[in-house]
Amino acid sequence: MYILGIESSCDETAASIIKADPKTGRIQVLSNIISSQIEIHKKYGGVVPEVAAREHVLNILPVINESLIKAKITPDSLDLIGVTRGPGLITSLITGVETVRTLAFAWNKPVIEVNHIDGHIHANFIDPASKINYPALIMTVSGGHTNLVKMDKTGKIKILGETRDDAAGEAYDKGAKMMGLGYPGGPIIAQYAEKYQLDQKRNPQKTDKRELPINLPRPMINSVDLDFSFSGLKTALLYQLQKDKNWRERLPEYCYEYQRAIIDLLISKTIKAARKIKARTVMLSGGVSANNELRARMTETVARQLPGVNFLVPAKGYTTDNATMIAVAAFYQIKRQKPTDFSRMRVDASLQLK
């Protein structure tokens, strides 16, 4: 099957073509085109929905065209189109869905509407070498979502835990904004934290006695549920910065401590959830899973604390928003359900995972 995936839920306009074998499940990525608007939104310190929507309108057809050229196929060869229906920014989603409605009509192709989070989950299904054993536990950590999900071998999912306030990526982005570091905050905080770690390795230094110790909380880390909370951590960072007149000189240390708190929370609840459901595979997904420290610590912790459980994380290019994950999710969905009638397609900005 040749499947075209389209993603436009936030600030990336993306189109991808995969070749998927329904018998073996093997996936070949023929093209993965992403037009990112990060440079445009950077100057505003975050995504401006109206600007994002206009950019999607300008980019979507060239991006789709490029995905076809790169894959060396014409629209006649397509068997299915998958498109993100939600959650996301409403005007951004509309561009993707309305474009697909038109193409499905013009090309006479079946359509599958995909939940963006389900797309992130399926980024782990791209690599043919990945061996997934069930029940599997997936933690999706992105700019808008932090979810712990159980998946059984039929593909049925159950939400085990989620954030009660900010998402993990949002904690990175808001923390970075507070420290005047720009957007998106995740990769910048990660870079400063790495610098601090390297400096400490080369030249270990204790915090100067005159300096304020950086003590950040781990909200809800010991709660019995599998939910997360990051807003208290963000506020604690703000109070620390306000109290410390030297915080600018200690930026790498602040980034290191803040990142460590976020990652401690993510790892602790993932291990707890994996034990609870007796998971046989643990997977990470979403933009925050691009983080080297999270990838390394999760690999190490799963190996140490969950013997016999394998750990998967998508290749870096498939952690942040892309359309390959949407095409793959559509491939798995079409095995279980009929395509959507294109006249009935509807965006849903707050679409829930089910």
Q: State the nearest-atom distance from the C-beta of 264 to ligand KG4, in Å.
A: 14
Q: Alpha carbon 168 to chain centroid distance? A: 10
Residue closer to Zn ion, measured from CB, 142 or 229 = 142
Which pair of structure tokens corresponds to residue 290? 């691009």
- 56/36 Cα distance (integer angstroms): 10
Paired residues of 150 in beta bridges: 137, 158
Stretch that binds ligand KG4, among 21-29, 31-39, 47-55, 287-295 (CB under 6 A): 287-295
Among positions 64, 190, 237, 267, the unique one binding ligand KG4 when judged by CB under 6 A: 190
Note whether 4 and 99 are within 8 A (CB).
no
Stretch that binds Zn ion, among 19-27, 76-84, 194-202, 319-327 (CB under 5 A): 319-327
Q: State the nearest-atom distance from the C-beta of 116 to Zn ion, in Å.
A: 6
Instruction: Kindly state whether residue 228 participates in binding ligand KG4, applying the rule CB under 6 A.
Output: no
Q: How many residues bind ligand KG4 (CB under 6 A)?
A: 19
Instruction: Kindly state whether residue 258 participates in binding ligand KG4, applying the rule CB under 6 A.
Output: no
What DSSP character marks residue 318?
Answer: G
Instruction: Kindly state whether residue 59 participates in binding ligand KG4, applying the rule CB under 6 A.
Output: no
Write down the residue that tokens 């291990």 correspond to: 271
Burial code (b: 16+ CB inside 10 Å, e: under 16) for 31-54 equals: bbbbbebeeebeeeebbbeeebbb
Write down the residue that tokens 């991808």 correspond to: 16
Q: State the nearest-atom distance from the C-beta of 11 to ligand KG4, in Å.
A: 8
- Report the 3 state secondary structure along 68-128: HHHHCCCHHHCCEEEEEEECCCHHHHHHHHHHHHHHHHHHCCCEEEEEHHHHHHHHHHCCC
Paired residues of 151 in beta bridges: 136, 157
Instruction: Kindly state whether residue 290 participates in binding ligand KG4, applying the rule CB under 6 A.
Output: yes
With CB cut-offs between 5 and 8 Å by kind, which of ligand KG4, Zn ion, none does residue 173 bind?
Answer: ligand KG4
Among positions 11, 12, 55, 321, the unique one binding Zn ion when judged by CB under 5 A: 321
Which pair of structure tokens corresponds to residue 135? 């029940």
Instruction: Kindly state whether residue 7 participates in binding ligand KG4, applying the rule CB under 6 A.
Output: no
Note whether 303 and 159 are within 8 A (CB).
no
Among positions 16, 35, 140, 142, the unique one binding Zn ion when judged by CB under 5 A: 142
Quickly count: other Cβ atoms within 10 Å of residue 320's Cβ: 27
Instruction: Kindly state whether residue 320 participates in binding ligand KG4, applying the rule CB under 6 A.
Output: yes
With CB cut-offs between 5 and 8 Å by kind, which of Zn ion, ligand KG4, none does residue 326 bind?
Answer: none
Residue closer to ligand KG4, measured from CB, 6 or 306 = 6
Paired residues of 2 in beta bridges: 19
Count of CA atoms in the C-beta half-sphere (13 A) of 95: 29
* Residue window 134-153: x/- pattern of binding to ligand KG4, with contact defined by CB under 6 A: --------xxx---------
| Full DSSP string of 24-61 | T--EEEEEEEEEE-HHHHHTTTS--HHHHHHHHHHHHH
Among positions 288, 327, 329, 330, the unique one binding ligand KG4 when judged by CB under 6 A: 288
Residue closer to ligand KG4, measured from CB, 98 or 194 = 194
Stretch that binds ligand KG4, among 60-68, 213-221, 269-277, 284-292 (CB under 6 A): 284-292
Instruction: Kindly state whether residue 185 participates in binding ligand KG4, applying the rule CB under 6 A.
Output: yes
Q: State the nearest-atom distance from the C-beta of 186 to ligand KG4, in Å.
A: 2
Instruction: Kindly state whether residue 287 participates in binding ligand KG4, applying the rule CB under 6 A.
Output: yes
Write down the residue that tokens 């561009």 correspond to: 95
Residue closer to Zn ion, measured from CB, 257 or 321 = 321
Stretch that binds Zn ion, among 67-75, 142-150, 230-238, 268-276 (CB under 5 A): 142-150
Quickly count: other Cβ atoms within 10 Å of residue 248's Cβ: 11
Give the binding site for ligand KG4 (CB under 6 A). 10, 142-144, 169, 172-173, 184-187, 190, 286-288, 290-291, 320-321
Give the binding site for Zn ion (CB under 5 A). 142, 321
